[in-house]
Amino acid sequence: MTTSVVGLSLDESDDGGLAAYDPSMPDGRPAIPRDLQRRVLIEAGHRCAIPTCQATPIQIAHITDWSIVKEHKFENLIALCPTCHAL
């Protein structure tokens, strides 16, 4: 199964994990761990987390900007479509 996620390659692998996060991320930020990506996607139902939208494809975004928090935490990540992410 493949989930369509902008900026991510999320092809299911034999080990049940997800493929690596896009290495072209700015600021040299590290990849979001696979298990954390999976939790965010499951919480959002593999769709945009905005209830009035729920579009696909999606991006995993930081609620409080990465440049401020400098870490990946489940509580600070959200699945958004490109349109909602740009708002």
Question: Mean pLDDT, to the nearest integer, of 43-47?
Answer: 94
Q: What is the pLDDT of residues 47-78, one digit of tens each?
A: 999 999 989 899 999 999 988 998 999 999 99
Q: Which domain holds residue 20?
A: 2-86
Q: What is the pLDDT of residues 26-37, one digit of tens each?
A: 667 788 899 999
Q: What is the pLDDT of residue 67?
A: 86
Where do we find the tokens 């991006």? 59
| Beta-carbon contacts of residue 69 (< 8 Å; ≥ 6 apart) | 62, 76
Domain count across the chain: 1
Predicted structure pTM score: 0.70
